[in-house]
Amino acid sequence: MVATLVLLSIYLQGKLTARERIELLCDPYSFVEFDMFVEHTCSDFGMEKKKFPGDSVITGHGLINGRLAYIFSQDFTVFGGSLSSIHAKKICKVMDQAMLVGCPVIGLNDSGGARIQEGVESLAGYADIFLRNVLASGVIPQISMIMGPCAGGAVYSPAITDFTFMVEDTSYLFITGPDVVKSVTNEDVTQEQLGGAKTHTSVSGVAHNAFHNDVDALLKLRNFMGYLPLSNKEPSPIRACDDPSDREVPSLDTIVPQESTTAYDMLEVVYDIVDEREFFEIMPKYAKNLIVGFARINGRTVGIVGNQPKNASGVLDINASIKGARFVRFCDAFNIPIITLVDVPGFLPGTAQEHNGVIRNGAKLLYAFAEATVPKITVITRKASAYGGAYDVMSSKHLRGDVNYAWPTAEVAVMGARGAISILFKGKPDASRYEEEYEEKFGNPFPAAVRGKSFDEFIIIFKRSHLIIA
């Protein structure tokens, strides 16, 4: 009767059980379960009378679109999915095997935290998992799907993994819950406000995306896994497509406005150049002034990084730098080529940015592009201004960019005409008349092309083949 009520509660929340989640994520009948009969070893507080086969987590391996992945799915119906020592050992086992075999590990997280009855044993279990997260970083893809509460020590493992996704309205990530926050700081806050999907996808940047419900999340995860390699020693999967490799993109002639101050949507540029207009955007609600995500060019996975003129004119700031740097380093670790679409007016000025470390964080993005050894293709669509070094940071030729293109609309300059003239002719009443001369000289890509400093090729008619050949 109790079990029936628990299941009913889960379904009323629109959630699936731990086993149903695995069945939906994996190809039919492909999941092989590990340690399905092991039980916890705690004998305190009457726990010896409360044992369930497999304890509070289901582990094993299965196929996702025909490719191997190791999976653990925490079962909230057993002790609230709390982590016991045996629970931790089961997770560590699949992580060890995933590293040994060389394939991704996926965690379906739904846990109330450490099992209090086991004391320090459960805390040690968390540390064992954290260690493996670190050892696996850059070796195999690690994905966390938060599908319920994830509190206390349980939050650190998802934060270390490569990508963290959440389910709207039913998943939460926080170190201390609303009750503790109230008792310590006297703040009144709900679970959703403190650590819900909206908070972590748009404010904190902890989560990379959120989905409507369990079914939507798991189907999107299946799609997402198709972009990733099994490990850092394997190439990304190649998918056949009917999108011609030499397809011209005439719409690009009109997407980018002639006026350098007019906004446009860089996502439209992305959709037009990638295979079949399919783009899996990462962190779409966080630092919207920078776009990152995965797509395919001629069937091969690529990472896309692009300034978004529609949001804050595509300016770089602290959050955009952090977002971009982490994505670039993931692509570099797993041999995924990077295409960078540049339309950047500079770094965002202001005391808030300076005081919170825009220099430190901007340097992270620069460092990530400079150290990356994967193929790097850069396309300057319009502005490439050097306010704060933004032009250099965005995968410029000087940071070992392999192939750098410029469109006819490109403007490669230290700064805009008005700002430059105000400095060059400071104090002169007729300074504004020099703006047009400055625009003619630097408001187009030809001076940079003559010097061969900023890009390799000036493109009049852009084709997808430019990216494929590069």
Q: Residue 34 and residue 32: Cα distance in Å, rounded?
A: 7
Question: Which single residue is written with the structure tokens 């890509």?
Answer: 445
pLDDT score at 4: 63
* Alpha helices per DSSP H over 102-190: 120-136, 156-160, 178-185
Is the dihedral angle over the CA atoms 295, 296, 301, 304 positive or is it negative?
A: negative
- Take residue 209 and report the two structure tokens written for it: 């995306």
Spatial neighbors of 390 by CB under 8 A, at least 6 apart, are 315, 316, 344, 345, 346, 347
CB-count burial class (<10 Å; 0-12, 13-18, 19+) for 461: exposed
Angle at 314 (CA atoms; ends 265, 338), nearest 5 degrees: 80
Tell me the helices (H) and strands (E) count for the chain, helix number first: 19, 16
Q: Residue 274 and residue 249: Cα distance in Å, rounded?
A: 10
DSSP conformational letter for 79? G
Which of 89, 105, 76 has its CA nearest to residue 9?
76
The residues assigned a catalytic role are 152-153, 389-390
DSSP string, 366-414: HHHHHH--S-EEEEEEEEEE-GGGHHHHTT-GGGT-SEEEE-TT-EEES
CA 264 to chain centre: 23
Q: Which domains can be identified in the chain, with CATH numbers?
A: 2-225 (3.90.226.10), 252-410+445-469 (3.90.226.10)
Which of 264, 241, 254 has its CA nearest to residue 464?
241
Would you give per-residue pLDDT tens digits along the chain (470 residues)?
445 666 666 766 778 999 999 999 999 999 999 988 676 565 555 565 666 667 889 999 999 999 999 999 998 887 677 778 888 999 999 999 999 999 999 999 998 776 666 666 668 888 999 999 999 999 999 999 999 988 888 899 999 999 999 999 999 999 988 999 999 999 999 999 999 999 999 999 999 999 999 999 999 999 999 999 999 999 999 998 888 887 877 777 788 887 778 899 999 999 999 999 999 999 999 999 999 999 999 999 999 999 999 999 999 999 999 999 999 999 999 999 999 999 998 899 999 999 999 999 999 999 999 999 999 999 988 877 655 588 889 998 888 888 888 877 777 766 666 666 667 667 676 666 666 666 666 666 666 666 665 555 556 556 666 676 65
b/e burial code for range 16-28 (CB count within 10 A of at least 16 → b): bbbebbbbebbee
Is the dihedral angle over the CA atoms 141, 62, 196, 184 positive or is it negative?
A: negative
Which of 96, 44, 47, 52 has its CA nearest to residue 72?
96
pLDDT score at 254: 83
- Take residue 398 and report the two structure tokens written for it: 């000087």
Q: Residue 109 and residue 111: Cα distance in Å, rounded?
A: 6
What are the residues facing 245 on neighbouring strands?
A: none
Spatial neighbors of 454 by CB under 8 A, at least 6 apart, are 380, 384, 396, 397, 404, 406, 412, 445, 448
Question: Which single residue is written with the structure tokens 């995924």?
Answer: 336
Question: Which single residue is written with the structure tokens 């502005």?
Answer: 383
pLDDT score at 432: 66
Question: Which single residue is written with the structure tokens 């020099």?
Answer: 434
pLDDT score at 412: 74
pLDDT score at 2: 47
Q: Residue 253 and residue 257: Cα distance in Å, rounded?
A: 9
- Take residue 287 and report the two structure tokens written for it: 């630092």
- Take residue 263 and report the two structure tokens written for it: 């906004």
Residues in the chain: 470
